[in-house]
Amino acid sequence: MFSDLPQRAGMNSTRIAEVLNFRRALPPIVSVAHVHMLMNAPTKVEREIVDLVDSARVRKLFIPGRGFDSAGLGDCLILVQDWEDTVRSSSSVKDDLKEKFLELLRKNTKTSAVAAGIFTPEETSSLVRAGFLVSPSSLAKHPSFDTSLTSIPASRRSHALNIVLPGQEIAVSDQRKSGISSMFLSIPNLGPYLRLVGAARTQIMTLLKKSRSGEAPLTLIRDRWDGAVESEVYYNVSKRARGESAGVLPGKTKKWKELYGLNFRWALEEALGSGLIELFDTGSVGPGVRRV
C-alpha cells in the first residue's frame, strides 16, 4: 500500500515519525471496490463475500454518508480476527466492555447498526471515544471527505492517532438530544483511512486532467504521481557528485507531503475498482489510462 522510505527522503526525523505512525495507525480494512478490481469477477466476488460473512470470517463495514455504489467509500471489508484484535489491543476501553462489544460483533453479523439500549450511556461514550461506535447524526453532517488530508493532525505518537470521524466526540450528546435509536459500528482511525483513499482517487483524476484528452500513458501518470524526484540512475548520481540539481527530494512532493508515500499501483487499483478510470492499449507506448 505504501512505498518504502527512500534513503534521501528530504524529511526530518519528526516528519518521518509522523509518516510511519500514520501508516501504523490505519485500520486493517479494504474497500469492496478494491477487491473487485483485484479479482475482476464481480459475481464470484460477491458470492465469496457473502460466504465469508456467513461463516463469520469477514465483516462488512458500512459507513453511512459515504456512498454504497462502486465509486463510494461506504462499503468496506475487514477480517473478523483483525477487528477483534483491534478491540483487545485498545487501551481506552475496559476489559469487561471489550468482551461485551466482542459478543455483539459475534452475534450481530448482518448489520452495522447497533441499538442504543445495548450499551449504557457511559459504555457508549467510551466506545465512541475509542472509535468503535459512531453516531449517524455526526456522519450526516459530514457526507463528504477532505481529499487534501491537511485536516489530519500530525502526531508523533501512534496512540495519539486514534482519530475518529468528525463529530464522534459529541456523538453521544447528539444522540440524546435528537432521540436517535441506534449507533453504527466503526473502527479506530476510519476517518483518516477514508480521507486517504478519497485523496488518492482525486489525485489520480487530477493527474489525468493535466492531459487535454483526459488520457495518458500509464508510465506518464506514474511519473506525475511520484513527482520529479531524483533517482539512482548513473547520470543523476554524477550530477549530485558535481553538486548539480538532479531532481527534487521525495519529501517535497505531494506523494509524501499529503499522501504519506502512498504507492501508485495501490491508488491506481483503487481508482480502477471504483470505476473512475479504465486501462487501454495504446498500441505504441504500452498501456494507457483514461477517465470513464
**Whose CA is closest to 19, among 273, 262, 284?**
262
* Cα separation, 269 vs 31, whole angstroms: 11
Asked whether the beta carbons of 185 and 112 are under 8 A apart, the reply is: yes
**Whose CA is closest to 95, among 130, 65, 60, 63?**
130
Q: Which residue has the cell 486532467?
A: 209
* Cα separation, 57 vs 159, whole angstroms: 27
- Single pTM value for the model: 0.77
pLDDT for the residue 219: 92
Domain count, the chain: 2
Both 26 and 121 in one domain: the answer is: yes
pLDDT for the residue 238: 57
Is 31 among the domain residues? yes
pLDDT for the residue 112: 83
| Residue 275 structural domain | 203-291
R_g over Cα of the chain: 21
Among 169, 198, 227, where does a domain finish?
198
Both 181 and 77 in one domain: the answer is: yes
| 264 CB neighbour count, 10 Å cutoff | 21
Asked whether the beta carbons of 165 and 190 are under 8 A apart, the reply is: yes
Is 168 among the domain residues? yes
Burial 219-246 (b: 16+ CB within 10 A, else e): ebbeebbbbebbeeeeebeeeeeeeeeb
Is 6 among the domain residues? no
Both 106 and 119 in one domain: the answer is: yes
Both 169 and 235 in one domain: the answer is: no
Is 132 among the domain residues? yes
pLDDT for the residue 167: 41
* Cα separation, 262 vs 1, whole angstroms: 6
Is 171 among the domain residues? yes
Long-range own/partner contacts, residues 68-71 (CB < 8 A, 24 or more apart):
70/33, 70/36, 70/273, 70/274, 70/275, 71/33, 71/274, 71/275, 71/276
Is 2 among the domain residues? no
**Whose CA is closest to 22, among 157, 198, 201, 197?**
157
Is 135 among the domain residues? yes
pLDDT for the residue 244: 56
Both 173 and 209 in one domain: the answer is: no
Tell me the mean pLDDT per 10 residues along the chain, length 292. Answer: 88 94 95 87 90 91 64 81 94 94 88 85 93 73 40 39 41 45 87 92 94 92 83 52 64 92 95 92 91 88
